[in-house]
Structure 1
C-alpha cells in the first residue's frame, strides 16, 4: 500500500503543481508540499483496500504546517485525474477558509497599524524614562557607598 501511495502521490504532485516536494510520513502516508502556493496534501492508508484518506492544509510562515482543514476518503482505483480534481476542490476550500471574510460581519474591518520605526514625534529623540533614572541613581549610590567604605572618606 505504501508503494502505491508513493506512486500515486508522485503522479498527483505533477498534476497539481510544477514545484512540489513529496515525502513519506512516519505512519506510512505521503505528503505533497507546494511551497509556492503555501498548501499541502496528505495521502494516508485507511485500512480499506485501494482507499486513502486525503487531507489538505496550509503552510504557515516559517514553513511549518497548519493542521488539516479538510479531509476525505477516496478510491485510488478511480484514477489520478479524478483524484486531482478532489484535491483541487479541497485546496480551493482550504484557501477560501484561510481568507478573511467580512461578509456578514457587523464590525468594520480594522486597518493594520504601520510598524513604529523611529521616534514617535518628529524632531525629538528618545528620552530616558523615570524607571531608568531610578536605577541609575541606585547604582550611583551603591558606587558612592563602596568608594566611601574603601577610602574612608579621606579626600
Structure 2
C-alpha cells in the first residue's frame, strides 16, 4: 500500500506545486509539503483497497504542521487530474479557514472551530492591554482577611495576660 501511496503522492506533488517535499509519515502514509504556499497534503491508508484518506492542513511559522482542517476518502484508481482537483478544493478550504483576522475585528472565531461546552467566552477588554499577571484588589482583601484571622488566633493563644 505504501508504494502505491508514494507513487500517487509523487504524481500529485508534480501537478500541484513546483516546489514540494514528499516524505513518509509515522502512520504509513505520505505527506506532500508545499513550503512556499504554507500548506500540506497527506495520503494515508484507510483499510479499504485502492482507497486513501486525503487530509489537508497548513504549515505553522516554525515549520511544524497544524492539525488537518479537512479530510476526505478518495479512490486511488481515479486519474491524477481528478485527485488533483480534490486536493485543490481541500487546499482552498484550508486557505479560507486560515485567512488572518483584520486587526479591528476583535476576537472573531474561525469557521471550523467550535467552543467547548461549559466554557464561557471571555470578553475582550478594549481599554488597557494586559502585560502580565496582576494581583487584584479582591486578592489583597482575601489575604488581609486571612492575616486578620491568623492574628486573632495567635492573640487568643499568646496575647492574654496570665499565661
The two structures have a TM-score, normalised by structure 1, of: 0.65
The one-character-per-residue Cα deviations of 1:44-68 (angstroms, maximum 9, x if unpaired) are 0100000000000000001011000
The two structures have a TM-score, normalised by structure 2, of: 0.62
Secondary structure of the structure 1 residue equivalent to 2:72:
strand
Q: Which residue of 2 aligns with 1:36?
A: 36
RMSD of the TM alignment (CA)?
A: 1.5
Q: Following the alignment from structure 1 to structure 2, what is the Cα–Cα distance between the partners of residues 75 and 56? A: 16
Q: Which residue of 2 aligns with 1:55?
A: 55
| Count of matched residue positions in the alignment of Structure 1 and Structure 2 | 106
Q: Following the alignment from structure 1 to structure 2, what is the Cα–Cα distance between the partners of residues 34 and 69? A: 16
5+ long unaligned stretches in structure 1: 103-107, 111-155
Q: Following the alignment from structure 1 to structure 2, what is the Cα–Cα distance between the partners of residues 10 and 78? A: 15
Q: Which residue of 2 aligns with 1:5?
A: 5
Q: Following the alignment from structure 2 to structure 1, what is the Cα–Cα distance between the partners of residues 79 and 54? A: 14
- Which structure shows the higher helix fraction? 1
Q: Following the alignment from structure 2 to structure 1, what is the Cα–Cα distance between the partners of residues 79 and 5? A: 12
Q: Higher Cα Rg: structure 1 or 2?
A: 1
5+ long unaligned stretches in structure 2: 107-163
Q: Following the alignment from structure 2 to structure 1, what is the Cα–Cα distance between the partners of residues 42 and 23? A: 10
Shift of 1:109: 2.2
Q: Which residue of 2 aligns with 1:109?
A: 105
